[in-house]
């Protein structure tokens, strides 16, 4: 059984944002800064499948059949992860929740563990399309190319090539799907004082500063930064 904890004891963060918004980078930076685990749905799903947990097996069966993993299974896998010791002072969730049902389950999980801060990293669609469609990787070592790498990989000198899954039409479709799925979630959270939209159309360090400011505002009177 989980113990009830004081209201200010944990820093529980959900990061929302479309593909290409830089959400993963910001989640990683925030987690490191605060000494919290970054919990990415993709990672914990893979881990549950690899470990062959009961929920992992159900998830694997769904994925093998080309189906989405159900809300119930995702919720169970996240619950198991949040119950682990390293998440007792909080967490940075990346990729969960995806639906209102998952969000309401998360509210129940977080109940008694401190407040839930929701950060929505917002970037205009045209900027996302440009970012995703012009994303390059090194054809030799596979590194993601930094924006200022113009012709060759700065790590190994290899040629920069386009990622095959970043075709403009595919990118636009992915963003449309994201938008359709995430709007109910944003509606669910945006009425709360702990919801913050973050302008993601800025250099990564500026976005990081905005994330930290939002955390400070959301936890005012709580943990010092």
Catalytic residue among 33, 46, 88, 98: 98
Closest to Zn ion by CB, 158 vs 222, is 158
Residue of the chain from 8, 141, 161, 216 that contacts Zn ion (CB under 5 A):
141
Closest to Zn ion by CB, 135 vs 140, is 140
Binding mask 147-166 toward Zn ion (x if CB under 5 A, else -) reads ------x-xx-x--------
Complete DSSP assignment for 26-82: HHHHHHHHHT--EEEHHHHHHHHHHHT-HHHHHHHHHHHTTPPPPHHHHHHHHHHHH
**Residue 221, Ramachandran bin (φ over 0: left; ψ between -120 and 50: alpha; else beta):** left
Closest to Zn ion by CB, 146 vs 209, is 146
Token digits for 176?
């449309």
Pairing of strands 136-138, 160-162: antiparallel
Helix axis angle for 168-190 and 125-133, nearest 10°, is 140
Token digits for 78?
């996240």
CB 187 within 8 A of CB 169: no
Q: Report whether the peptide linkage leading into residue 97 is cis, meaning its omega lies within 30 degrees of zero.
A: yes
Closest to Zn ion by CB, 101 vs 154, is 154
Is 98 a residue of the active site? yes
Is 130 a residue of the active site? no
Is 180 a residue of the active site? no
Q: Which residues pair with 117 in a beta bridge?
A: 13
* Shortest Å, Cβ 2 to Zn ion: 45
* Shortest Å, Cβ 137 to Zn ion: 8
* Shortest Å, Cβ 39 to Zn ion: 30
Is 23 a residue of the active site? yes
* Shortest Å, Cβ 144 to Zn ion: 10
Binding segment for Zn ion (CB under 5 A), chosen from 23-31, 61-69, 140-148, 183-191, is: 140-148
Return the active site residues: 23, 98, 135, 163, 174
| Binding site residues, Zn ion, CB under 5 A | 138, 140-141, 143, 153, 155-156, 158
């Amino acid at each position: 059984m989980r113990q009830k904890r004081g209201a200010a004891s944990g820093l529980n963060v959900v990061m929302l944002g479309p593909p290409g918004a830089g959400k993963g980078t910001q989640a990683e930076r925030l987690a490191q800064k605060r000494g919290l685990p970054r919990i990415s749905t993709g990672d914990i799903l893979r881990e549950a499948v690899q470990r062959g947990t009961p929920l992992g097996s159900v998830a694997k069966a769904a994925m093998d059949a080309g189906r989405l993993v159900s809300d119930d299974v995702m919720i169970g896998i996240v619950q198991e992860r949040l119950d682990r010791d390293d998440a007792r002072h909080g967490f940075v969730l990346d990729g969960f929740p995806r639906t209102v049902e998952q969000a309401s389950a998360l509210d129940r999980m977080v109940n008694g563990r401190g407040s839930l801060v929701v950060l929505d990293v917002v970037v205009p669609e045209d900027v996302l399309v440009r970012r995703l469609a012009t994303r390059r990787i090194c054809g030799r070592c596979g590194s993601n190319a930094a924006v200022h790498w113009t012709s060759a990989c700065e790590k190994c000198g290899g040629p920069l090539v386009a990622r095959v899954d970043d075709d403009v039409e595919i990118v636009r479709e992915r963003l449309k799907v994201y938008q359709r799925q995430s709007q109910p979630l944003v509606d669910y959270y945006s009425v709360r004082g702990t919801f913050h939209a973050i302008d993601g159309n800025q250099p990564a360090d500026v976005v990081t500063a905005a994330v930290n400011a939002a955390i400070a505002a959301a936890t005012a009177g709580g943990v010092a930064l």
